[in-house]
Structure 1
C-alpha cells in the first residue's frame, strides 16, 4: 500500500485525486476503524484557511473567535452529515466499485464484533 506524501494528502483533503498507486490507501482511509476521525481531519484541513481569514479580520477579538468557533461547528456538522457519501465518492474517484467502501466497513465491523464475542465466550468458559 503506497501512502501519499504530505502535499498529496493536502490535495486529497481538498478533494483531489491521488495517483493510481495510492488507490489501495484511499480504500483503507475510508474504511479503517478510524475513518470517521480521518474524515474530521480532512474537514478541519478544509476549514482551517477560512478560520485564519476570519481571525485576521478587523474587529473585536471576541466576535472573531466566536465567528470562528460557530463556523467550525457548522462546517463539521455538514461534514459529518455527508460523511458516508463523501467516503463513497472518494473510493469511486480512485477506481473502486460503487458500494465497496460501505461493504468493506460493514465487513470490518462484523469481524470486530465477532472477534469481541468470541473473546467473551472464551472468558466465560
Structure 2
C-alpha cells in the first residue's frame, strides 16, 4: 500500500499575494509544492476549492454593480453569474485540482489517488469501529 504524503506542520505556506495568484490559477514557487498537495488532497479540499472559485468570481460580481441599470437587475446578474460560475467550478473540481497538483510538479493522478486512499482508510476505520471483533476477512474472527 502506498503511503500518503503528509506535510509536516512546518510546511511553508504562501503569503497572501502568492495565494491570490494561486487562486487565479498561477503557479507557486517549488518550495510550496507540498502545501499545494496538502491543499488539494487534505480534509476540506472541496471547501477550499469553492473558496478559490468565489475569489475568482468576485471581480465579475463587483463589475455587475457598476452596470447602469436598476439595482434589482444588477443584483440578479451578480447572483446569477456567481451561481453559474460555482456550478461550473463544481463540475470541473477534480480536473482543476489535478491540474494544480501537476503544475506543482507531481505526476498526473496524484491528487485523485491520495484522496481515494484517504477515503478508503476512512471507510476501513468506520467498518472497524462498527465491527471491532472482525479482524480478518469477511466472517473471520480471531
RCO greater where, 1 or 2, for CA within 8 Å and sep 6 or more? 1
Structure 2 distance, partners of 1:43, 1:95, is 22
Q: Paired residues, what number?
A: 123
Cα displacement (A) at 1:122:
3.4
Distance 2:75 2:52 in 1: 21
Q: TM-score, normalised by structure 1?
A: 0.94
Counterpart pick for 2:109 among 95, 99, 109: 99
Post-superposition offset of 1:113: 1.2
Residue 2 of structure 1 is matched in structure 2 by 12
Q: Which residue of 1 aligns with 2:3?
A: none
CA–CA separation in structure 2 for the residues paired with 1:45 and 1:13? 7
Deviation at 1:111, TM superposition (A): 0.8
Cα distance in 2, alignment partners of residues 98 and 122 from structure 1: 37
- Residue of structure 2 equivalent to 1:18: 28
Richer in helix (by share): 1
- Runs ≥4 residues deviating over 4 A: none
Please, which runs of 5 or more residues in structure 1 have no aligned partner?
A: none
Pairwise CA RMSD of aligned residues? 1.2
TM-score of the superposed pair, with normalisation by structure 2: 0.83
Structure-1 separation of matches of 2:56 and 2:110: 25
